Amino acid sequence: MNKHILRLAVPNILTNITVPLLGTFDLFLMGHLQSHHYLGAVSLGNTVIHFLYWNFAFIRMSNSGITAQAFGSENHSEVISSLARALLLALGGAVLLIVLQTPISWLAFKIVSGEEVVETLAKQYFHIRIFAAPATLALFALNGWFIGLQNSIFPMIISILVNVSNIGLNLLFVRYFDMKSDGVAWGTLVAQYIGLTTAVIFFFSRYNYFLKHLKKDLILNIDQLKRFFHVNKDIFIRTFGVILVLSFFTMESASKSTLVLDVNAIMIQYLFIFSFFLDGFALAGEALIGKYTGQQKQELLRKCIRLLFFWGTAIAIAFTLVYALLGKEFLYFLTSIEDVRELAHDYFPWVIFIPLAGFVAFVWDGIYIGATASKLMRNAMIIACLGVFFPVYLIFEKTLHNHSLYLALLLFFLTRGVIQTLWAKKALGFNIVKNAR
């Protein structure tokens, strides 16, 4: 079982870790320019873009779980139909974002505001990045489908290629073409289409035989469409909750000052690095839990869950120690702006506890998605978001100021983990603590 988990998790880790590395590199480029406005602009622009794009991340999550269950039950028609539905949804969403970009931008920057110069640069960044929507959303669909087929290698190669290309293009545009935050946006745009082209090539080179099972009436099957949109609806709400919390974190940072925005943009990278690393095991959980659910093998499900939490605990402890011992050196690497470095020290103790606070929720997310227990995952998110994060921030903001954002964020993750643990038997339909034979 460990071999199966690691075979899926390690490529997923390599896939995911390139994402925060890209964000870190962007901050490095902007953090060493003469003006800190560019650092704030990329942070603000990314907040809006990520809020839009990651609200469509349900396409990947639901597609991986549904595909894994169809693959486990050897239903080839449903395997290819699930991809077709996800791609249609991705294309429709991308067209909508591009067509509505002007009103979206107007509304977004009314909500996510900053200093005038920072906001102007962030809007420029947004109107470039939005044209990557077709590639970004299609990659959600394709990568989720590959993972559902127990293939983590293709998403790994695609992600590494996208992010290495992105880093190279950003460096080219910023350092050699003397562009600023707009150079980062153009680099990301081009890299996304490089990734989509690669994914399409992979599909036709390995999985084109599924096309013979593709039938229009199966894609539009009412029962399957209901299930598809039911799962997507719940995961959309769950993902919206995560993005709402992280976007609010940035919005409130910007409302305090550009300096606080810059500091919090750097501090949140510690969360992203840990979460994308641990998500490798969550994605392995999606694939394996989905497969064993499709095969109705409870003993393997129990064993898989126990091992996923073993690895999750080990990773959380390791990251806590690394952040405690070496975290400040990473801060100095990211920025040479002395004011940012000095203020960041005040908030550094919070990031040390992020891994321990968050790992349970991350592992359960993968398990719940694989089991398509989307409704319970959604409800846990609503409670943690509306019942914990926002009340805690509002209660303590006057006394703890910026520290209240970090307190609310840690309690948000802890709450989700506790609730999902309590609801696990209901979500999976059996008692997970029973020993597997």
Both tokens of 384, joined, read 């943690």
Q: Taking the C-alpha atoms of 154, 160, 163 and 165 in order, what is their torsion angle to the nearest 10 degrees? A: -100
In a domain, 434, yes or no: no
At residue 429, φ and ψ (nearest 5 deg) are 85, 10
Per-residue pLDDT of 147-204, as tens digits, reads 889 888 898 899 889 888 888 888 888 878 877 777 888 888 899 999 999 999 999 9
Does 436 reside within a domain?
A: no
pLDDT of residue 114: 64
Q: How many CB atoms lie within 10 A of CB 394?
A: 11
Inside any domain, residue 76: yes
Tens of pLDDT, residues 264-279: 888 888 888 888 788 8
Q: Tens of pLDDT along 310-351? A: 999 999 999 999 998 887 787 777 677 778 788 888 888 898
Predicted local distance difference test score (pLDDT) of residue 371: 84
d(CA 224, CA 80): 13
Structural domain count, the chain: 1
pTM: 0.70
Flag whether 15 is in a domain: yes
Task: Please check whether residue 207 lies inside any domain of the structure.
Answer: yes
The mean pLDDT of the chain is 83
Note whether residue 412 is domain-resident: yes
209-253 tens-digit pLDDT: 888 888 776 666 667 667 666 767 887 888 888 888 988 888 888
Contact present, 166 and 194 (Cβ < 8 Å): no
Q: 61 versus 366: which is more confidently predicted?
A: 366
**Which position has the token pair 């810059």?**
262
User: What DSSP character marks residue 337?
Assistant: -
Query: How many Å apart are CA 253 and CA 260, to the nearest integer?
Result: 6
Residue 263 has pLDDT above 70, yes or no: yes
> In the prediction, which pLDDT does 435 show?
46
Does residue 435 sit within a domain? no
> Is residue 64 in a domain?
yes
Tell me, what DSSP letter sits at residue 214?
-
Q: State the Cα–Cα distance between residues 282 and 338, nearest whole angstrom.
A: 37
Domain hosting residue 170, numbered range:
2-428
DSSP symbols for 13-72: HHHHHHHHHHHHHHHHHHHTSS-THHHHHHHHHHHHHHHHHHTTTHHHHHHHHHHHHHHH
